[in-house]
Amino acid sequence: MTFLKSITGAAIAAAMLLTAPGAKADEQHFPLQSYRVGPYAAGGTGFFGGFIDYLNLINTRDGGVNGVKLTWSEGETQYEVEKGVEVYERLKSNPGIAAWNPLSVGIAYAMIDRITKDKVPLITINHGRTDSTDGRVFPYVFPLLLNPYSETSGIVNYIASKEGGLEKLKGKKIVVLYHGSPYGKETIPIYQLLAEKYGFAVSQIEVPHPGNEQQAQWLQIRRERPDFVVLRGWGVMNPAALKTAQKVGFPATKIIGNVWSNSEEDVLPAGEAAIGYTAITTQASGEQYPVVQEIKKVVYDAAKGNLEDKSRIGSVYHNLGIVNGILNVEAVRIAQEKFGHRTLSGDEVRWGFEHLQLDPTRVAALGAKGLFHSINVTWNNHEGDGYVTFQQWDGKKWNVVSDWIAPDWALLRPIIEKSSEAYAAEKGIKIRTAEEAGSLASN
Amino acid sequence: MSVETLSVPTAPTGWKRIVWPLALLTLAYVVVPLTASSYLLEAILLPFLALSLAAVGLNLLTGYCGQLSLGSAAFMAVGAFAAYNINLRIGLPLPLTLILSGLTAAALGTVFGLPSLRLRGFYLAVSTLAAQFFVQWALTKFSWFSNDNPSGVIDAPALRIVGIDFDDATGRYMLSLTVVALLTLLSWRLVCSATGRNFIAVRDNETAARVIGVPVLRTKLLAFAISSFIIGVAGVLWAFTYLRTVEPAGFNLDRSFQILFIVIIGGLATIRGAFVGAAFIVIFPLLLSRLGTSVFGGVFDSGVLDMSQRIVLGALIIVFLIVEPKGIAALLDRSATALIRWRR
Amino acid sequence: MDHNDLLFLVEVLVGGLLSGVMYSLVAIGFVLIYKTSGVLNFAQGAMLLFAALTFVSLVERGVPFVLALLLTFAVMVALGFAIERTVLRPLVNRSPMTLFMATLGLSYIIEGAAQLVWGTQVHALDIGIDDVPFELGGILISTFDLVAAAIAATMVLALSAFFYWTRTGIAFRAVADDQFAALAIGLRLQRIWATVWTAAGLVALVAGLLWGARLGVQFSLSLVVLKALPVLVLGGFDSILGAIVGGLIVGAGEKLAEVYIGPYFGGGIESWFAYVLALLFLLVRPSGLFGKRLVERV
């Protein structure tokens, strides 16, 4: 332990010597609108914990990104939109801001106009506004890895793979149980579309917020006898759904959760009722991946870890935070190769995100092989074609039960473009071209 | 001694009556736009103005007319969505949009005010929750309200009146300020009028009011309508000038409670109380969290700080109710009186 | 309507009634306090969360089940007395609305304190009742809900016994009937209030454990009060019997509505149906099923 400490100490000292040529070191800043209290605290502590842990790892192990230190500051939002706006206004004048990562759909929406004006990227990994995938209309918004439409397609493709192919979906019956909110309703037309395309029957049932009572819905489900139930839940609705499914005798193995229903916090409260439940994810959980091991060694063993409860290392949200850290840091690194090893402006980091292309080889080099598949962001595709995988809960931990699955991006793209072009027309936004994306904004 | 306690506090007379509001308006219209930072405008003054207006509206209903409502946020939502749709589908000038969306909220407010004809006290309060949940459900359910936007969250349109752009922070502040000032003036005129006295009569003793010839039912419904109108406009300000997005979840039960808190802490049945209370609710948590960060910042994470802040806020509400039940407005009155007496 | 449809109807009805018992359980806590002190205690949800969180945290730290139950109860007693001392006593003779606001503040304090002490993690709560459904004449019934209903019934009986046969209980009823008369004959109002808040704390504990076992113990647990409010309106704020009957009506009504009326509106009407039901009912009977009629004095 002491030996390790002294080694890391020496490494830090060496790194500092190597990377501190001038008087004032360059810094890149990440303002965090975190939520560590309130109804969604469990997700917030995991995600922001993982993000901070990764930034800490880069600082401690590598002395920052090419010598540029990563810094961050936190403001508590409790997942409330107006607190998020307050934190944005408070922190936006911090120097050297790289990107914003709110992990809240509501806050992200309220920020779109603001960050577009301030020319700083807004990262909404795995969530956010679907049509912001279209970089022609939303130059500064990045729903990295997975937007809600791709998630829908990914889930249907997974069900098809379980049934033995897309053509086997014909005549099957799927029930979507969704949260009674704009978020929950967002994918209704996509399930309809896929049902028509592949010939399965879909019936979509709403659970009113907060979702702590679902008796009526599950009795309906039992009567319909579907082959699968897709759970598009949020917060307490998820464990309540699993509990109620058990109550009406519907097997958990036939329930598939979406990205907001895929964490330990969603299944733990349901106890044994959750065993066998499967959920989609863009990042596998577990701590066996090299980068997570390094975080354990370099950050947690030096007592600098962000999670209070070490058993949550490698949990779904913690790993999502780590992957989010990797994507942010690599975008900065890519932008630095073009603009120089120094503090970058928000617009320069935006360029970095628009060239964030990490193939599986690069992902493995970053110590994240198996943690997530790859990403391929371009100037007009801000999602970056993320792959999904599925994990099954065994009562103690999640186990990967599928290959990496590709959503049907080509099918979804026209729908997304239609929506984003309508938005551009409504707001009077000029649709961006590749040349404009390649250069920096003038001021 | 008794003479003195009776003589103060007196209502300011003559030029004093004009001077204070004028000084405040000068400050708000001239000094603030010239000096305020974008943080002050965006994160403090804009929510403050919208919440103050909502609290003025609720105060008319609860403070003056005595009808407790827990559904204020629903009427804010109605106002905001009405304004969005009027702007989108008809495209009227902004001032007209504001008035029409206020009227929409008023119409709905009257409908949900109907139970007040039979119900009292908490029974009425809980029944106003029906408005809260129904409106939120309807706005989420029928995507027509949000122009079939797949995610149901809609953006505020550009704010323009006769070619003048109000889109930057200062512009939105000026717009918001003007609307709030006008409606506050109208509310103030209202409570001084015969209708205002009817409100108070109904609040203090319904049966007695009926005996002396106050049209109780009409008065109650009128209170619901006017209050909902003002709250509806406040909702438009909240969505258009402050957050710049409109989503049903932003107008949840917590928002209704927040407005009620403002009214009670600021002082029931005072127009000023709404502003004082709103200032308290907006600024106080920020101050606490700043103080917390600077004193304990390194020791505790933001979660612990925020939790402690929640506790302190809750405790302060109780302390206020115990020590100063008439709200901060009365507290200010008394300290002003004390100051005058001390200077004598 | 063929046989299967009828079975389904009965199943929905039974499920609804059993859910209704769970609502009643929360509502009873409100009634106890409203009856004696005229306070609509909004903090009941926070108390429920606090009790469940305390219990589950103790169990997770290796405290045996029964001991944890006793310790949590002791904490709730302390809480009841503390609330009486610091909130109710200074606010005596204030308007019901002021007291209601105070309990809103109180719910902030309790929620904050609960999370500060025990953290924001979600917990599973296993109280040893298997939740496997069994079939009865073609109808699926949840064991857990049945046991919960039995526990609720036991608690109501115990409370009734307490109020009918103990000195404190009789004093409680005296206060509920007429505060001034009770004071005049020398009853100590403060002690009675503290006892009532303790009793409400006990109800919160039982409700918290049952709801916690249903949903897991987490912040959203305090939201179950929103399910209890229409029950109160329907049954009358000051009647335990009303809370039970109201709970059953709301539970059955909203499930039937969700299944049979919901589809015409696109579903999800449960969030407001209970309120509208209560509202319509109130238009006929302005003080609920069993509530005391207001007497107007000039």
Dihedral of CA atoms A378, A383, A389, A394 in degrees, nearest 10, equals 140
- pLDDT of C143 > 80? The answer is yes
**pLDDT at residue number A152:** 96
In a domain, B306, yes or no: no
- Contact list in A for residue B143 (CB cut-off 8 A) is 185
**pLDDT at residue number B301:** 63
| Domains held by chain B: number | 1
Q: Residue B226 contacts by C-beta under 8 Å, 6 or more apart in sequence?
A: B57, B60, B61, B106, B190
A360 CA: distance to closest CA in chain C (Å): 34
**Cα–Cα distance measured from residue C175 to residue C35, given in angstroms and rounded to the nearest whole number:** 8
What share of chain A has pLDDT > 70, as a percent?
A: 94
**pLDDT at residue number B117:** 84
In a domain, B315, yes or no: no
Q: Residue A423 contacts by C-beta under 8 Å, 6 or more apart in sequence?
A: A131, A137, A429, B155
More confident residue, C120 or A217: A217
Mean pLDDT of chain A: 90
Closest to B271 measured CA to CA, from B135, B180, B149: B180
- pLDDT of C263 > 90? The answer is no
Tens of pLDDT, residue by residue over A256-279, are: 999 999 999 899 989 899 999 999
More confident residue, B287 or A17: B287
What share of chain C has pLDDT > 70, as a percent?
A: 97
Q: Which residue do the tokens 């801001």 mark?
A: A97
Mean pLDDT of chain C: 86
**pLDDT at residue number A1:** 39
**Cα–Cα distance measured from residue C288 to residue C242, given in angstroms and rounded to the nearest whole number:** 8
**pLDDT at residue number C93:** 78
State mean pLDDT over B85-106. Answer: 93
Cβ contact C48:C42 at 8 Å: no
In a domain, B314, yes or no: no
C73: confidence class by pLDDT, cuts 50, 70, 90: very high
Reduce the secondary structure of chain A to three states and give it as a string: CHHHHHHHHHHHHHHHHHHCCCCCCCEEEEEEEECCCCCCHHHHHHHHHHHHHHHHHHHHHHCCECCEEEEEEEEECCCCHHHHHHHHHHHCCCCCECCECCCCHHHHHHHHHHHHHHCCCEECCCCCCHHHHECCCCCCEECCCCCHHHHHHHHHHHHHHHHCCHHHHCCCEEEEEEECCHHHHCCHHHHHHHHHHHCCEEEEEEECCCCCCCHHHHHHHHHHCCCEEEEECCCCHHHHHHHHHHHCCCCHHHEEECHHHCCHHHHHHHHHHHCCCEEEECCCCCCCCHHHHHHHHHHHCCCCCCCCCHHHCCCHHHHHHHHHHHHHHHHHHHHHHHHCCCCCCHHHHHHHHCCCEECHHHHHHCCCECCECCEECCCCECCCCCCEEEEEECCCCEEECCCCECCCHHHHHHHHHHHHHHHHHHHCCCCCCHHHHHCCCCC
- pLDDT of B65 > 80? The answer is yes
- pLDDT of B188 > 80? The answer is yes
**pLDDT at residue number B2:** 32
- pLDDT of B343 > 80? The answer is no
- Cβ of C276 within 8 Å of Cβ of B130? The answer is yes
Tens of pLDDT, residue by residue over C206-240, are: 999 999 988 888 888 888 888 888 898 888 888 88
State mean pLDDT over A406-410. Answer: 95
State mean pLDDT over A211-237. Answer: 91
Q: How far is CA A189 from CA A16, A149, B253, C237, in A?
A: 54, 10, 29, 44
**pLDDT at residue number B6:** 31
Instruction: Classify residue B79 as exposed, middle or buried by CB count within 10 Å of its CB (0-12, 13-18, 19+).
Output: buried
- Find the closest chain C residue to A46 by CA distance: C121
**Cα–Cα distance measured from residue A113 to residue A31, given in angstroms and rounded to the nearest whole number:** 17
Q: And the tokens for B166?
A: 């109000």
**pLDDT at residue number C125:** 87
Closest to A244 measured CA to CA, from C216, B194, C202, B66: C216
**pLDDT at residue number A439:** 82
**pLDDT at residue number B222:** 95
**pLDDT at residue number B8:** 34
State mean pLDDT over B166-181. Answer: 92
The contact set of A with B (CB < 8 A) is: 34, 36-37, 41, 45, 74-76, 78, 81-82, 85-86, 89-90, 93, 105-106, 109-110, 112-114, 129-131, 148, 180-183, 185-186, 189, 208-209, 419, 423, 426-428
- Cβ of B38 within 8 Å of Cβ of A186? The answer is no
C24: confidence class by pLDDT, cuts 50, 70, 90: very high
More confident residue, A229 or B130: A229
Q: Which of B261, B315, B325 sits opposite C109 (nearest CB)?
A: B315
**pLDDT at residue number B303:** 67
Q: Residue B24 sits in which domain range?
A: 16-252
**pLDDT at residue number A15:** 47
- pLDDT of A17 > 60? The answer is no
**pLDDT at residue number B46:** 94
Max mean pLDDT range (A218-227, A346-355, C258-267): A346-355
In a domain, B290, yes or no: no
Tens of pLDDT, residue by residue over B124-173, are: 888 788 889 899 888 888 888 888 777 777 788 888 888 888 888 899 99
**What sign does the CA torsion over B258, C267, A268, A279 have?**
negative
**pLDDT at residue number B296:** 67
Tens of pLDDT, residue by residue over B147-158, are: 877 777 778 888
**pLDDT at residue number A31:** 96
C226 CA: distance to closest CA in chain A (Å): 10
B300: confidence class by pLDDT, cuts 50, 70, 90: low
What share of chain B has pLDDT > 70, as a percent?
A: 92
Instruction: Classify residue A48 as exposed, middle or buried by CB count within 10 Å of its CB (0-12, 13-18, 19+).
Output: buried
Instruction: Classify residue A169 as exposed, middle or buried by CB count within 10 Å of its CB (0-12, 13-18, 19+).
Output: buried
A5: confidence class by pLDDT, cuts 50, 70, 90: very low
- pLDDT of A328 > 90? The answer is yes
More confident residue, B11 or B109: B109
C144 CA: distance to closest CA in chain A (Å): 8
- Contact list in A for residue B150 (CB cut-off 8 A) is 130-131, 186, 189, 419
Sheet harboring A398-400: ordered strands across?
A: A201-207, A173-179, A228-232, A255-257, A278-281, A389-393, A398-400
**Cα–Cα distance measured from residue A26 to residue A13, given in angstroms and rounded to the nearest whole number:** 17
In a domain, B268, yes or no: no
State mean pLDDT over A33-52. Answer: 87
